């Protein structure tokens, strides 16, 4: 979202050079820049002790592909807290550990996805109303069920599988 009026005082914004960011919307009254804002989503690959991955089917997203737990980062919330909260809310699983994997810009939706991996104990799912189905699948099988190459779910799974093939001492921390 681009600002045209100051959200503090309501005055129309001017434009002025602002450091390395170039011309930026600026409130001359409040003396503040207002950069464009966009939604941020935490997407979390949940992996159990058997190296199975939790996959969700959410028909409002796709009837063909499974995806990972995801949700919008709320004001005042860190991306990590959002990832843990969404895992608990959507599938009823408690994340034991969380690691950042990658980010992905979704141009057509103008949003930033932040990808995490969470370790959790395998348990039965307790699904929220947003989730139509959830399954635990071995990671290699899961790769066939998610969105194709170019999607963050595919990227995260492929990185995880690549790391699993490396000798124990050479594994990257994803």
Quick: pLDDT tens for 95-146: 999 999 999 999 999 999 999 999 999 999 999 999 999 999 999 999 999 9
How many domains in the chain? 2
What is d(CA 70, CA 45) in angstroms, rounded to the nearest whole number? 9
pLDDT tens for residues 78-89?
A: 999 999 999 999
Structure tokens at 147: 């969105």
CA dihedral 92, 50, 95, 66 (to 10 degrees): -60
Where b means 16+ CB within 10 Å and e means fewer, 4-38 reads eebeeeeeebeeeeeeeeeebbbbeeeeebbeeee
Same domain, 108 and 80: yes
Structure tokens at 64: 């063909």
pLDDT at 167: 57
Same domain, 72 and 147: yes
Q: For residue 93, what is the domain's CATH number?
A: 3.90.79.10
């Amino acid at each position: 979202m681009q600002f045209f009026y100051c959200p503090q005082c309501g005055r129309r914004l001017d434009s002025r050079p602002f450091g390395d960011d170039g011309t930026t919307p600026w409130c001359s009254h409040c003396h503040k820049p207002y950069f464009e804002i966009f939604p941020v989503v935490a997407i979390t690959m949940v992996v159990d002790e058997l190296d199975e991955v939790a996959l969700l089917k959410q028909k409002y997203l796709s009837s063909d592909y499974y995806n990972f737990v995801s949700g919008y980062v709320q004001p005042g919330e860190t991306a990590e807290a959002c990832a843990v909260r969404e895992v608990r809310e959507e599938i009823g699983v408690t994340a034991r550990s969380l690691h950042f994997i990658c980010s992905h810009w979704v141009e057509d939706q103008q949003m930033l996805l932040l990808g995490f991996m969470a370790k959790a104990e395998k348990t039965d799912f307790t699904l929220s109303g947003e989730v139509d189905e959830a399954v635990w699948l071995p990671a290699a099988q899961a790769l066939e069920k998610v969105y194709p190459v170019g999607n963050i779910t595919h990227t995260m799974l492929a990185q995880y599988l690549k790391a699993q093939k490396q000798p124990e001492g050479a594994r990257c921390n994803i």
